[in-house]
């Protein structure tokens, strides 16, 4: 009996220990002191993943506060965020991509009115607020610019050819000139030693946002401007879709790649085609610099052109500038964690290490007034500054008003079908205009 | 003996039972509950009744993937079982290197679906590149690409089950059939196939449910492109849940509908196949 009891006690003990170990492991991930708070940042930008991790490590060294940085793979941010937010150790800091993104996550957004990142905004009106304007919920931390990145050296080679459509990049101020130059390059691609005028317009999910979102912004911008639209309209007319078609045709017909292969082309394909000097033009933004630099195209040869679609008055059009990177602090985290996160962000925008990393390593233009001595050296950012100095009007980022991801996907897939020749342009028009009305209705019915 | 079992049984089943509760029962119950709610994260939901279920069939992509998946499951079930049986039938005969062949056929099954998907994507894109096409060019390309991948992965696994079935047939039965003058094909159709019916039941069950449940290979190979036309049911549910803001509940409702469909088909299949089983 005694022996039995001893065995039973032993067995029960083993089970209890192993279970408590397993359960404890689920409960708390970090062993550090919880009262000091900790930071868990779910980062949106894969191209800056390592820079953020280095910055986090530097902060931990300096202050002893735990900072975890997790980066979602390209195109999977919403997925990752949704599952991470359901965990007990949810991100204390995450990102939304603008007003439409904030609408999804507003229940999780803490008030940022008294934070350093709000106080230091050069223009406080760019922060996103709650519906009644009583709370500041999301703050942009980087202003970005996109357009058509070009290779100056290759372009100059083309300009030197007899019969070139232009003799200097300054002459490219409209769609017609851009088209003539691109077609000229395509016709002379063997002389110039390139595979095509434009990089592949890939429709893999890592790349298709360049066309269904960023390119689609241009016709949207002109339509909003004509109609005086400021918020998110319930319906759109598609006034400038012919221009959208023209520029898209230019991309796919004067490129390194057959249109029937576009469905499998990734952003890496496009980046490497440009970085290795196989194409002259590449539609992307300032963030692409990290992937281009250090390859065969030197920094001095990098420039950026506005995306022209043949709209009236486009001679004065500048690059497309805005933000879809807004910081949001999770109001469901503990007070200590929220405070730790605010302190971390203050450090990021005021300390030397933080400012150096944001401006120089990551190459960002930030909207904060603390960056006086830290101006970006990113040549693509400098290209934007030149356009602004020349008095050109920057195109705004209106794609943050697009009704849903589904709308973008609809447009993207219709564009791909059109490019492959398995669909026609009417499908794009319908995905654009009718899709907008449908998705707007659905998104608001489900809000 | 029985008393010992009652007294000590929990010690051995307990840990597994707890793991089963945490990993399966709780998520299942929570999932069914969530299909009646509106939520952004699974820990924060409000009850909406049957609203989500109304959204399931209103979504054209769901109906499309339902038919696409059904076609996929039928094609793969037939091809995999016929091929696996044929390979097993060849490999039960003793010849030099039979074991080596068995291992080689089984190996694809050891590679994870995502890896397989990417490898096959490269292979097929390389091949289709000759005609300036790629696997995501149209839903038809994607369909046959997935069929090829699935067959390559599963034939070896089903082959092992068929070999076990074939080896359990008593040699005397085949011998007496030969003595009675039965031809090879008569022996195959009238003796061997009825006797391996239990293996057929198992294999068809596995291939049908695998066909309906396929997810990672689909994700890696085509990711539903173009226009979500090559999206199988599991991927469609995943995309509804994660990629569409405000549709998490509908995704969850689709998952419940999906469960019911697969369960009903599996039960019918099992009943039909079992009724054909015979004893030697």
Domain hosting B12: range is 2-34
Distance (Å, whole) CA B87 – CA B181: 25
Domain hosting A36: range is 14-143+323-371
Whether residue B30 sits in one domain with residue B125 = no
Q: With respect to residue A382, please indicate whether it lies within any of the assigned structural domains.
A: no
Distance (Å, whole) CA B274 – CA B280: 15
Q: With respect to residue B48, please indicate whether it lies within any of the assigned structural domains.
A: no
Residue of chain A with shortest Cα separation from B137: A263
Distance (Å, whole) CA A47 – CA B254: 35
The pLDDT of B164-185, averaged and rounded, is 88
Please give the tally of structural domains in chain B.
2
Whether residue B115 sits in one domain with residue B17 = no
Question: Which of A10, A263, A413, A415 is most worth mutating to test chain B (most B CB atoms within 10 A of its CB)?
Answer: A263
Instruction: Return the number of CB contacts < 8 Å for A and B.
Output: 82
Q: Which of A106-115, A279-288, B96-105, B140-149 has the lowest mean pLDDT?
A: B96-105
Whether residue A430 sits in one domain with residue A317 = yes
Question: How many Å lie between the alpha carbon of B82 and the closest alpha carbon of chain A?
Answer: 33
- Highest mean pLDDT of the ranges A142-146, A261-265, A431-435: A431-435
Higher pLDDT, B280 or B48: B48
Q: With respect to residue B42, please indicate whether it lies within any of the assigned structural domains.
A: no
With CB atoms and an 8 Å threshold, state whether B243 touches A406: yes
Evaluate whether A282 touches A256 at the Cβ level (below 8 Å): no
Residue of chain B with shortest Cα separation from A75: B243
Question: How many Å lie between the alpha carbon of A104 and the closest alpha carbon of chain B?
Answer: 7
How far apart, in Å, are the Cα atoms of B38 and each of A200, B27, B50?
41, 17, 11
* Distance spanning both ends of chain B, measured CA to CA: 35
- Name the residue among A348, A336, A323, A325 with its Cα closest to residue A92: A336
The single-letter DSSP state of residue A137 is: E
CA A427 distance to own-chain centroid = 27
Q: What is the pLDDT of residues A291-340, one digit of tens each?
A: 888 888 898 999 999 999 999 989 999 999 988 889 999 999 999 999 99
pLDDT higher than threshold 80 for residue B1: no
Please give the tally of structural domains in chain A.
2
Whether residue A138 sits in one domain with residue A25 = yes
Residues in CB range of A280: below 8 A, 6 or more apart? A150, A151, A154, A155, A158, A182, A185, A192, A194, A197, A198
CATH of the domain at B192: 1.10.3720.10
Q: Is the minimum CB–CB distance between A261 and chain B shorter than 8 Å?
A: yes
Q: With respect to residue A177, please indicate whether it lies within any of the assigned structural domains.
A: yes
Q: Which of A78-82, A114-118, A297-301 has the lowest mean pLDDT?
A: A78-82
The pLDDT of A400-413, averaged and rounded, is 88
Whether residue A217 sits in one domain with residue A99 = no
Whether residue B202 sits in one domain with residue B248 = yes
For residue B280, give the 3-state DSSP assignment. coil
Question: Which of A424, A446, A447 is most worth mutating to test chain B (most B CB atoms within 10 A of its CB)?
Answer: A446
Whether residue B116 sits in one domain with residue B13 = no
Whether residue B166 sits in one domain with residue B246 = yes
Portion 92-151 of A in contact with B at CB < 8 A: 104-105, 107
How far apart, in Å, are the Cα atoms of A403 and each of A71, A325, A433, B258?
25, 18, 11, 29
| Confidence at B253, pLDDT banded by 50, 70, 90 | very high
Q: Which of A19-23, A243-247, A327-331 has the lowest mean pLDDT?
A: A19-23
Q: With respect to residue A393, please indicate whether it lies within any of the assigned structural domains.
A: no
The single-letter DSSP state of residue A72 is: P
pLDDT higher than threshold 50 for residue A1: no
Which residues in chain A have Cβ-Cβ distances shorter than 8 Å to B247? 446
pLDDT higher than threshold 50 for residue A193: yes
Q: Which of A12-26, A171-185, A401-415, B249-263 has the lowest mean pLDDT?
A: A12-26
Predicted pLDDT at B65: 92
- Name the residue among A364, A315, A383, A316 with its Cα closest to residue A177: A315
Comparing CB atoms, the residue among B42, B134, B244 nearest residue A405 is B244
Predicted pLDDT at A32: 45
Per DSSP bridges, beta strands A317-322 and A393-396 are parallel
Q: What is the pLDDT of residues A387-403, one digit of tens each?
A: 888 889 889 999 888 98
Whether residue A184 sits in one domain with residue A124 = no
Portion 73-92 of A in contact with B at CB < 8 A: 78-79, 82, 85-86
| Confidence at B105, pLDDT banded by 50, 70, 90 | confident
Whether residue A425 sits in one domain with residue A281 = yes
For chain A, give the mean pLDDT.
87
Q: Which of A346-350, A370-374, B143-147, B194-198 has the lowest mean pLDDT?
A: A370-374
Question: How many Å lie between the alpha carbon of A204 and the closest alpha carbon of chain B?
Answer: 9
Predicted pLDDT at A30: 42
CA angle B108, B111, B113 (to 5 degrees): 105
Q: With respect to residue B13, please indicate whether it lies within any of the assigned structural domains.
A: yes
Distance (Å, whole) CA A164 – CA A199: 21
Q: With respect to residue B148, please indicate whether it lies within any of the assigned structural domains.
A: yes
Evaluate whether A354 touches A347 at the Cβ level (below 8 Å): yes
Q: What is the pLDDT of residues A252-301, one digit of tens each?
A: 999 999 998 898 889 999 999 999 999 999 999 998 888 888 888 898 99
With CB atoms and an 8 Å threshold, state whether A205 touches B228: no
Distance (Å, whole) CA B233 – CA B223: 12
pLDDT higher than threshold 50 for residue A208: yes
Predicted pLDDT at A24: 43
Whether residue B22 sits in one domain with residue B59 = no
Distance (Å, whole) CA B13 – CA B8: 9
Q: With respect to residue B44, please indicate whether it lies within any of the assigned structural domains.
A: no
With CB atoms and an 8 Å threshold, state whether A107 touches B133: no
CATH of the domain at A188: 3.40.190.10
Whether residue B253 sits in one domain with residue B118 = yes
Predicted pLDDT at A31: 41
Residue of chain B with shortest Cα separation from A427: B227
Q: With respect to residue A98, please indicate whether it lies within any of the assigned structural domains.
A: yes
Higher pLDDT, A17 or A349: A349
Whether residue B273 sits in one domain with residue B144 = yes
Secondary structure percentages of chain A, helix, strand, coil, to 5:
55, 15, 35
Per DSSP bridges, beta strands B37-39 and B45-47 are antiparallel
Whether residue B179 sits in one domain with residue B245 = yes
Whether residue A174 sits in one domain with residue A35 = no
Q: With respect to residue A63, please indicate whether it lies within any of the assigned structural domains.
A: yes
Whether residue A288 sits in one domain with residue A152 = yes
Q: Which of A29-43, A45-59, A360-374 has the lowest mean pLDDT?
A: A29-43
Whether residue B224 sits in one domain with residue B181 = yes
Question: How many Å lie between the alpha carbon of B245 and the closest alpha carbon of chain A?
Answer: 7
Residues in CB range of B155: below 8 A, 6 or more apart? B80, B83, B84, B87, B105
In sequence order, what E strands does B44-172 have?
45-47
Q: What are the start-end ranges of the H helices in A294-358? A: 335-350, 352-356
What number is the ipTM of this complex? 0.74
- Name the residue among B116, B141, B125 with its Cα closest to residue B214: B116
The pLDDT of B195-209, averaged and rounded, is 91
Higher pLDDT, B142 or A18: B142
pLDDT higher than threshold 80 for residue B279: no
| Confidence at B151, pLDDT banded by 50, 70, 90 | very high
Question: How many Å lie between the alpha carbon of A139 and the closest alpha carbon of chain B?
Answer: 21
Question: How many Å lie between the alpha carbon of B137 and the closest alpha carbon of chain A?
Answer: 6
* Cross-strand partners of A144: A322
Comparing CB atoms, the residue among A86, A258, A413 nearest residue B43 is A86
Question: How many Å lie between the alpha carbon of B61 and the closest alpha carbon of chain A?
Answer: 12
Whether residue B217 sits in one domain with residue B166 = yes
Which pTM does this prediction carry? 0.79
Distance (Å, whole) CA A139 – CA A122: 12
Distance (Å, whole) CA A296 – CA A275: 6
Whether residue A71 sits in one domain with residue A186 = no
Whether residue B16 sits in one domain with residue B120 = no
Predicted pLDDT at A430: 95
Evaluate whether A440 touches A403 at the Cβ level (below 8 Å): yes
| Confidence at A28, pLDDT banded by 50, 70, 90 | very low
Q: With respect to residue B190, please indicate whether it lies within any of the assigned structural domains.
A: yes
Q: Is the minimum CB–CB distance between B103 and chain A shorter than 8 Å?
A: no
Which residues in chain B have Cβ-Cβ distances shorter than 8 Å to A104? 40, 245-246
Predicted pLDDT at A406: 84
Q: What is the pLDDT of residues B47-76, one digit of tens each?
A: 888 888 988 888 888 999 999 999 999 999
Comparing CB atoms, the residue among A85, A416, A446 nearest residue B246 is A446
């Amino acid at each position: 009996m005694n022996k039995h009891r001893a065995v039973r006690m032993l067995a029960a003990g083993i089970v209890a220990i192993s279970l408590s170990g397993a359960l404890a492991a689920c409960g708390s991930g970090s062993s550090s002191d919880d009262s000091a708070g900790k930071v868990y940042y779910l980062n949106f930008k894969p191209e800056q993943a390592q820079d953020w991790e280095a910055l986090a490590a530097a902060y931990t060294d300096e202050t002893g506060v735990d900072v975890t940085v997790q980066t979602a793979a390209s195109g999977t941010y919403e997925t990752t965020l949704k599952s991470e937010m359901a965990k007990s150790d949810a991100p204390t800091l995450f990102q939304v991509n603008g007003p439409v993104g904030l609408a999804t996550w507003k229940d999780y957004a803490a008030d940022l009115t008294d934070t350093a990142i709000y106080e230091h905004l050069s223009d406080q009106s760019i922060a996103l607020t709650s519906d009644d304007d009583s709370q500041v919920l999301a703050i942009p931390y980087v202003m970005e610019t996109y357009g058509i990145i070009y290779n100056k050296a290759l372009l100059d080679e083309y300009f030197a050819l007899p019969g070139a459509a232009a003799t200097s990049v300054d002459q490219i101020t409209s769609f017609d000139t851009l088209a003539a130059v691109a077609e000229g390059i395509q016709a002379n691609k063997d002389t110039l030693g390139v595979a095509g005028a434009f990089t592949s317009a890939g429709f893999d999910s890592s790349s298709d946002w360049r066309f269904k979102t960023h390119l689609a912004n241009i016709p949207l911008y002109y339509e909003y401007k004509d109609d005086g639209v400021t918020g998110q309209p319930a319906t759109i007319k598609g006034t400038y879709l012919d221009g959208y078609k023209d520029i898209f045709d230019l991309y796919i017909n004067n490129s390194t790649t057959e249109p029937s292969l576009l469905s499998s082309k990734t952003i890496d394909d496009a980046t490497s085609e440009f970085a290795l000097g196989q194409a002259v033009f590449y539609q992307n933004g300032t963030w692409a610099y990290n992937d281009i630099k250090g390859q065969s195209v030197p920094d001095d040869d990098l420039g950026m052109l506005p995306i022209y679609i043949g709209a009236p008055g486009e001679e004065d059009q500048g690059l497309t500038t805005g933000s879809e990177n807004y910081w949001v602090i999770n109001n469901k985290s503990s007070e200590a964690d929220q405070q730790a996160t605010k302190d971390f962000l203050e450090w990021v925008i005021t300390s030397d290490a933080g400012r150096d990393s944001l401006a120089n390593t990551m190459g960002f233009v930030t909207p904060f007034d603390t960056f006086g001595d830290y101006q970006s050296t990113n040549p693509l950012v400098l290209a934007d500054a030149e356009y602004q100095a020349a008095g050109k009007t920057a195109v705004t980022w209106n794609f943050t008003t697009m009704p849903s991801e589904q709308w973008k996907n609809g447009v993207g897939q219709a564009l791909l079908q059109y490019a492959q020749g398995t669909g026609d342009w009417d499908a794009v028009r319908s995905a654009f205009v009718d899709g907008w009305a449908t998705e707007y209705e659905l998104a608001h019915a489900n809000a | 003996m029985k008393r010992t079992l009652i007294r000590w049984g929990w010690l051995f089943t307990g840990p597994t039972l707890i793991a089963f509760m945490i990993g399966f029962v709780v998520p299942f119950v929570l999932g069914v509950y969530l299909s009646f709610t509106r939520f952004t994260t699974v820990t924060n939901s409000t009850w909406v009744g049957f609203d989500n279920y109304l959204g399931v069939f209103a979504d054209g992509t769901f109906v499309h993937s339902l038919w696409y998946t059904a076609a996929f499951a039928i094609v793969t079930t037939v091809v995999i079982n016929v091929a696996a049986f044929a390979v097993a039938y060849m490999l039960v005969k003793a010849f030099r290197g039979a074991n080596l062949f068995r291992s080689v056929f089984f190996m694809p099954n050891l590679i994870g679906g995502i890896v397989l998907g990417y490898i096959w994507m490269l292979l097929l894109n390389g091949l289709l590149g000759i005609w300036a096409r790629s696997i995501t060019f149209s839903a038809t390309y994607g369909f046959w690409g997935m069929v090829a991948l699935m067959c390559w992965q599963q034939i070896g696994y089903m082959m092992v089950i068929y070999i076990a079935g074939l080896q359990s047939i008593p040699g005397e039965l085949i011998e007496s059939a030969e003595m009675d003058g039965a031809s090879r094909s008569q022996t195959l159709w009238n003796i061997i196939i009825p006797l391996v019916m239990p293996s057929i039941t198992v294999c068809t069950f596995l291939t049908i449910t695998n066909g309906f449940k396929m997810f990672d290979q689909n994700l890696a190979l085509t990711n539903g492109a173009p226009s979500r036309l090559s999206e199988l049911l599991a991927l469609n549910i995943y995309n509804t849940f994660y990629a569409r803001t405000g549709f998490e509940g509908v995704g969850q409702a689709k998952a419940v509908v999906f469960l019911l469909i697969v369960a009903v088909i599996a039960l019918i299949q099992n009943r039909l196949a079992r009724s054909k089983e015979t004893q030697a």
